A = this chain, B = another copy of it.
Amino acid sequence: MDALFGRKVFFKCENFQKVGAFKARGALNALLNLPANSGDVVTHSSGNHGAALAWAARKLGKTAYVICPTNASRFKRDAIERYGGTIVDCGPAIPQRETALQSFLQESDATFVPPYDHVDIIAGQGTATLELLEEVPNVTEIWVPIGGGGLASGTVVAANGRCAVVGSEPELARDAHDSLGSGRRLPALPPESIADGLLSSLGLLNFEILHRAHVPVRLVSEDEIRAATVLIWQTLKVVIEPSSAVPVAAALKDDVSSKEAIAIILSGGNVVPNLSV
């Protein structure tokens, strides 16, 4: 891998994290920071955050309701239920999620735990970087994918200037790239990328953190995402989902000016590869 990337590369394997993605960190941190008398929780999620909230809620004796688009991957919907969450169906468009959430909150006293635009979520996701920098303190850059921006902003906060943070997005879901480039938050494009964890609009707090830190965002094509996914399966022998391959693809085509070591956070592994050999 070092030869392929032109420099030493470390991988933080969040696909091995509980629920198969870094999202377990933020969800658990958010629940641990709720007032002691708070009850059940609710969120909207097309996947990993929903499963993470279900997992964290069960650990703390709560129920998690997850407003989930009907077109979310079967694998991710199953995971929400396997961890004890209750799915509330909604339509695939982002405004439909919001409407479904508002209706739910009017009829329930559950607490809303947002997927990324929240200080406790961001702080939780940052713990991946605290562990990473404890193990390999000398990396000069940490590469992350950007969806809503929870992982990316948590990485910025946790790195705290010790190294640079480089964001990455699919060309088909480039709202963070365009928002940070123009200095104002633009809505997400209609969801199309194979990187199904990166279709959300950048959150407000996330935007502010990334903007202030001047985090660059590299874009990759769908073909580059597919190739990088298979490369990691084949070479590292670990299963990652396509969203996790976005920073891999971006770093692979980076013009390497420095030979210093970098790290890539492999954000999750919730995908079912086909067996056809």
- Give the number of times this chain occurs in the complex, counting copies: 2
Please encode chain A, from 234 to 264, with 1 for each CB lying within 8 Å of some chain B CB and 0 for all others: 1001111110000000000000000000000
Q: CB-CB < 8 A to A229: which residues of B? A: 275
Once A230-B272, A272-B230 are accepted as A-B contacts, the answer to whether A277 and B242 lie under 8 Å apart by CB is yes
| Number of chain A interface residues as a range | 20 to 34
How far does the alpha carbon of A49 sit from the alpha carbon of B75 in the complex, in Å?
A: 36
Which residues of chain B have C-beta atoms less than 8 A from A271's C-beta?
275, 277
- Give Cα A234 to B20, complex, Å: 9
Q: Which residues of B contact A269 (CB under 8 A)?
A: 237
Interface centre among A15, A239, A275 (most CB of B within 10 A): A275
* A16: interface (CB < 8 Å): yes
Chain B, residue nearest A13 (CB): B237
Are A239 and B239 in contact, with the CB atoms below 8 A? yes
A35 interface residue per 8 A CB criterion? no
Q: How far is the CB of A195 from chain B (nearest CB, A)?
A: 10
